[in-house]
Amino acid sequence: MDSLTSPTLRGANTGSSIAPHSFLPLEAPLTMPVQSLWGRRQRAPAPQTWRLAFAFRRFFVVGATAAMTCVAAYEMYLVLSVSALTLPQAVLLGLFVLLFAWIAFSLVSGIAGFFSLLARRPNDLWIPTECPLPNLRSLNALLIPTYNEEPGRVFARLQAMYESLQQTGRLEHFEFFILSDTTNPDMWIEEEETFLALRRRLATERVYYRHRGKNTARKAGNIAEWVKRFGGRYEHMIVLDADSLMTGDTIVRLAGAMERLPTVGLIQTFPTVVNGLTLFARLQQFAGRVYGPMIAAGIAWWHGSESNYWGHNAIIRVAAFAEHAGLPTMRGRSPFGGHILSHDFVEAALMRRAGWAIHMVPELGGSFEEAPPSLTDYALRDRRWCQGNMQHLAVLPARGLHWVSRLHLLTGIGSYITAPLWLMFLLIGVVVSLYAKFVPPDYFPSRFSLFPVWPAQDPIRAAWVFGATMAVLWCRSCSLMW
């Protein structure tokens, strides 16, 4: 049952009835049309400062990746081509080129991030972190979607952000929403009780709570439902996860940047992993602290206004999101059909297609999230991400997308298909070894030759190719541990 349809909701240990409408502000509907992926639509250009500089950066990343891949492919060809390439060897070479290009691309981006951090280069939006906080004129909403999460922890984070914003002196420009998709009845009741207790504790009506009866389209549907009902009241929305946390200083600076830059549709922060209690969570937290800033700085360095959206810890222009980010339902059956699970990449691509700039500011700081506490929890989340990224195969050829947006989609897809490709590479390598052992060489091929064709191996070259590939793979794996 939806909280809005229940006649009364009883407060925790108060014995008083709360009218449902007091849980939410007055509705301000905003249309959010479903976007067509295949309609004849011309991609609009996004304003971009220093466009020539960003063209050079992208040329460097793509060119360096291509150069490394060509050298590695040639060396691998020399290792394999004892005489003429057999079919297994040709397949092995093709897989090697594809997989080496994948890891070389990540390595080059990480190197760019390393030197960017070394140079202490300011972010491209020039969001200062040491200057006084900007004065705001807009009304902004902080959205915290939750799905069967522990209410005490969710509302504690909300209270921390509320009090942090209160200390900035700009609290009147922000309102908070708990958007619940919780299906556990006991947890739902606990959410309402915790909400009422928080309102009494803060003595405010700037905190709202909404529960959906059906969690259609999961988080994407949760946010879209809020936009359609309340989006017209707010200029910007800060989308969080149930385990997200942001400082008031960062939130105010993000809102100020959106007011100052009317062509920017979305600004993504780099969330730092915190509060790890288990060994598994602590390992993720450590890796994120060591490698995460370098990777985030690297992708921000060359993405520019065609950056990406990670689904949380980001500020979004509500009107732009409503007009251009309505997600279609994919054709076919699960796992490829249905509602788009990894919605964030697609929403960013659609907004950029419409001409809105998408930026990342990893240097801003003050943005945090928690990691799954166990390998089982991580695997459950990763399975959902895997299905969502595989759905991007159908989104990839959509009309009008910027090539960098397509690259984001392709990167997400590659995160899951490269693992079976590596397995295939190893298995075919075994086949090539067995072929060389049990199939006798052809010393006198059908083509004319004055001398026999003597098979010759180059173990030194093979060792160098193996060592170089492992070094690139190790560096790339380290950079992605965050």
List the CATH number of the domain containing 171: 3.90.550.10
Token pair of 300 as six digits: 């921000």
462 within domain boundaries: yes
Is the same domain home to 135 and 117? no
φ, ψ of residue 391 to 5 degrees: the values are -65, -25
Inform me whether the pLDDT recorded for 77 exceeds 80.
Answer: yes
324 within domain boundaries: yes
Q: Please report how many Cα atoms fall inside a 13 Å half-sphere around the Cα of residue 63, on the Cβ side.
A: 7
CA 335 to chain CA centroid, nearest Å: 20
Residue 302's nearest CA partner among 201, 154, 407 is 407
φ, ψ of residue 285 to 5 degrees: the values are -65, -45
DSSP string, 395-424: HTT-TT--HHHHHHHHHHHHHHHHHHHHHH
Least confident of 117-131, 293-307, 322-336: 117-131
448 within domain boundaries: no
Predicted confidence band at 417 (pLDDT cuts at 50, 70, 90)?
A: very high
Is the same domain home to 201 and 212? yes
Residue 268's nearest CA partner among 243, 244, 234 is 244
Is the same domain home to 226 and 357? yes
pLDDT value of residue 478: 56
Is the same domain home to 351 and 213? yes
Q: For the whole model, what pTM was predicted?
A: 0.87
The domain of 330 spans: 9-34+125-271+310-370
Is the same domain home to 95 and 154? no
Which helix H or strand E contains 434, and what residues bound it? helix 403-438
343 within domain boundaries: yes
- List, in sequence order, every residue forming a beta bridge with 209; answer none if it has no partner: 178
Distances from the Cα of 271 to the Cα of 107, 217, 240, 463, angstroms: 21, 24, 10, 40
Buried b (16+ CB within 10 A) or exposed e, 382-407: eeeebbbbbbbebbbebebbbebbbb
Residue 325's nearest CA partner among 356, 298, 301, 295 is 356
Query: Can you list the alpha helix ranges (DSSP code H) found in 126-214?
Result: 151-168, 185-202
Q: What is the pLDDT of residues 335-375, one digit of tens each?
A: 788 899 999 999 999 999 999 999 999 989 899 999 898 98
Q: What is the SS3 assignment for 315?
A: strand
Q: What is the SS3 assignment for 350?
A: helix
Is the same domain home to 145 and 190? yes
Which helix H or strand E contains 140, and what residues bound it? strand 140-146
Report DSSP state, residue 36: P
Inform me whether the pLDDT recorded for 19 exceeds 80.
Answer: no
Is the same domain home to 193 and 330? yes
Q: What is the pLDDT of residues 239-295, one digit of tens each?
A: 999 999 999 999 999 999 999 999 999 999 999 999 988 999 998 898 888 888 888
Inform me whether the pLDDT recorded for 6 exceeds 60.
Answer: no
Is the same domain home to 115 and 155? no
Q: Please report how many Cα atoms fall inside a 13 Å half-sphere around the Cα of residue 138, on the Cβ side.
A: 25
Predicted confidence band at 55 (pLDDT cuts at 50, 70, 90)?
A: confident
Query: Can you list the alpha helix ranges (DSSP code H) found in 32-169?
Result: 51-80, 87-118, 151-168
Is the same domain home to 461 and 354? no
Residue 261's nearest CA partner among 165, 402, 356, 350 is 356
Is the same domain home to 323 and 457? no
CA 454 to chain CA centroid, nearest Å: 52
